[in-house]
Each structure stands twice: as structure tokens, then as C-alpha cells.
Amino acid sequence: MKYKRTSRDEISKLVTTARTYSLDARVESLSLGARFQLAYESARMWSEIVIRAEGKRLASRMKHHEKVIQSIAGIIGPEMEEMVEYLGNVRKKRHLIMYEGAISEVSPDDVAELMKVLDELEKRVIEWLESNHPDLLPLL
């Protein structure tokens, strides 16, 4: 993990992107697979926000997404472990969709559950930012 200072502007842009993916994932006219992938990208982006807020950056290498998601439990705390495990399973399903054409394996329940977890993740990350990095919040 490399250290690189972040800024309010960078965090603000990442939050905007995470929220945009989340909003797009709620568009019911999109396929379930597309909605699932957009929700996953939002969750990954919220995880990236935590890492960047700490002044860290993970190198883009094998298992990059997995490491990004796993790192939030180590930064925010062990109360995130269950969510990290769930998001790890989501990551695996997203991989099957992207690289093995398993788009038909996404159900409406999968998307609904992921959206609930995504909303909770956003809430927890914002609370964590407020407590640990309030200087990064003004542009939110």
C-alpha cells in the first residue's frame, strides 16, 4: 500500500461517483445484471474512499478489488467484517457476470439485498469520515 495525500476535492469526486453508480443501479429499466454491477461499483468506490481518506492507495494489481473491499474492515473496524464478507461474495458474482457471461444468475432479490447493503455502507463510511476525517467533508 502506497501513501499519497488526498484532498477534499478528490474525496468529493469519489463520493459523487459512488452516489451516481448507486442512483443508476436503482433504474428499474436497466437489466438486473447491469444494476448489480453498478451497485457493486458503488460499493467498491465507497471502499476506495475509506482507503484514500487514510492517505493510502492500493496498487492496481491482481485481486485489486478484493483487497480494496477487504481493507475497510481493517480501517473502519471489525464491525465491518460481516459486510466485507458479503461484498466479497458480491465481487465473485460480479466477476462471473463480467468474465463468464453469468448475467442470468442475478435475481431481483440479489439486487434488492445489495442495494440495502450499499445504503448501509454509504451511511457507515460517511459517519466514519465525520469522526475521523471531518476536514474531507465540506465538499460533500
Placement of cell 443501479 in the chain = 25
Report pTM. Answer: 0.86
- What total of structural domains would you count in the chain? 1
Asked whether residue 130 carries a pLDDT value surpassing 90, the answer given is: yes
* Structural domain containing residue 52: 2-136
Asked whether residue 21 carries a pLDDT value surpassing 90, the answer given is: yes
pLDDT computed for residue 102 by the predictor: 64
CATH code for the domain in which residue 78 is found: 1.20.120
Digit-coded pLDDT (tens) for 28-87: 999 998 999 999 999 999 999 999 998 876 656 655 555 778 888 889 999 999 989 999
113-118 CB contacts, 8 Å cutoff, 24+ apart: 114/25, 114/36, 114/39, 114/40, 114/43, 114/90, 115/22, 115/25, 115/26, 115/39, 117/43, 117/83, 117/86, 117/87, 117/90, 118/22, 118/25, 118/39, 118/42, 118/43, 118/46
Work out the average pLDDT over 116-140.
Answer: 89
Asked whether residue 139 carries a pLDDT value surpassing 60, the answer given is: no
Digit-coded pLDDT (tens) for 91-112: 888 777 766 666 667 899 999 9
